[in-house]
Amino acid sequence: MSKEYYFVYFEPEEWIAFREVKQFGSGSYAQTVYPSPYPFYGAVRSAILKAHGIELQYHKKPNIPKQLQEIVGDENNPGRIKLIGPFIYSEENGQKKHYFPAPKNVYLKQDNGEKQYKRMQYFEIETKVGNFTLKGLAWIPEMTNIEPAEEAYIELRELEKYRQGQSFKLSSPKNFIIESKVGIALEKDYKKVKESMLYTMNVYRFKNGGFFMITDSEETVQELTKLEGVFLGAKQRWARISVEKVTTTLFDKLENTNHEQTAIMLITPAIYNGGIAPSDLKFGNSQILAIASGKRTVISGWDYAFGRPKPIYHAVASGTVYYLDSIPSETDVIKKSEHNLFGFGSFIYTTYEKFKANIQ
């Protein structure tokens, strides 16, 4: 059943960067990484505070009235601002396309020159994954003309097909490039170059698009529509904000499906106490049978009030798929991830097929 959600768009004015977590010094080369929710929440929070006349100073906590504090929260709580993402969007001829991380259980089948994207099946065989012993694994049931899927993204309407077990395809947005930018550091409080502080940084440069986040919160939208934009990412680049309603079935629970063949796919990173999964291998009463995952991602941020990095977490990557033995509730899944109030551990329901060996 389709439902309307608010899609919040962040359109960068020019380049934008989200620096990797590492020490930065003379001659450094910093990669830009796919952003976590933290810089977006921080940018929105700062913009709302400024709009309410709150003076923000580096290395100093602002004096925020209690009522406003309840709206914007703090570095550990998002208050009443509710956003899921970020994801990438492109726009052409007034039409927006929305891209999510590609599922990790997808492979590519080449058949007479035709590409077919397929999902790994569940193969019941005891498997060791890190410190866990699982009942099965995500299995490619074919032996010829197969290869890994190269694309890292899937468009919204194709993701809706994927979750329903229909034919789908992956695709990547072509509206941005990652380019290198040379910069210099300045002496604090002086307009002169800091000695030996020449550096190179990778940045995103978008054409007709940028990032978006999703919410169903009317209160969040009321606050965001008061803003023209936010200062976002490294070097605080300007990004214009706009909000539109989009109808999608993406977050629906599955209907008319075999409850024993349900999976969930993470659309944002998740921070679990067991590393790649919850330590008990469960979401509520639903047992994790197999996992299709990629390399874990480093999550951190910058604490402007104290002028220091936030704690580092090694999160499960977006796109990770968990094969389950039953359908868990949304709350049972979300609460397993740390920092879920900031959108970590967001997911969609999907299905899987069981592998059946063709024995003659």
The domain limits of the chain are: 3-98+174-248, 103-150+253-351
Amino acid at 355: F
What secondary structure letter does DSSP report for 141?
A: -
- The residue ranking higher by pLDDT, 129 or 60, is 129
Q: What is the predicted pLDDT for the residue at 359?
A: 43
Query: How large a percentage of the chain has pLDDT more than 90?
Result: 56
Amino acid at 126: E
Q: What is the predicted pLDDT for the residue at 360?
A: 39
Q: What is the predicted pLDDT for the residue at 297?
A: 85
As a whole number of angstroms, the distance between CA 213 and CA 37 comes to: 9
Is residue 265's pLDDT more than 90?
yes
As a whole number of angstroms, the distance between CA 312 and CA 145 comes to: 41
Q: What is the predicted pLDDT for the residue at 259?
A: 64
Backbone angles phi, psi at 30, to 5 degrees: -110, 130
Q: Which of 96, 340, 80, 356 is nearest to 223 (CA)?
A: 80
Q: What's the whole-number average pLDDT of the chain?
A: 86
Answer whether CATH 3.30.70 is correct for domain 3-98+174-248.
yes
Is this structure's pTM higher than 0.95?
Answer: no
Q: What is the mean pLDDT of residues 93-120?
A: 92
Q: What is the mean pLDDT of residues 234-242?
A: 87
User: Which two three-digit tokens encode residue 117?
Assistant: 């994207």
User: Which two three-digit tokens encode residue 307?
Assistant: 């002028």
Is residue 235's pLDDT more than 80?
no
Determine contact, residues 201/15, Cβ cutoff 8 Å. no
Is residue 121's pLDDT more than 80?
yes
Q: What is the predicted pLDDT for the residue at 310?
A: 74
- In tens, the pLDDT along 62-105 reads 788 888 989 988 878 899 999 999 999 999 888 999 999 999 99
Answer whether CATH 3.50.50.60 is correct for domain 103-150+253-351.
no
User: Which two three-digit tokens encode residue 201?
Assistant: 């940084």
Q: What is the mean pLDDT of residues 134-151?
A: 91
- The residue ranking higher by pLDDT, 190 or 85, is 85
As a whole number of angstroms, the distance between CA 119 and CA 212 comes to: 27
- In tens, the pLDDT along 298-323 reads 887 666 555 566 788 899 999 999 99
Q: Within a 10 A sphere around the Cβ of 322, how many other Cβ atoms?
A: 31
Q: What is the predicted pLDDT for the residue at 64?
A: 87
Q: What is the mean pLDDT of residues 28-36?
A: 71
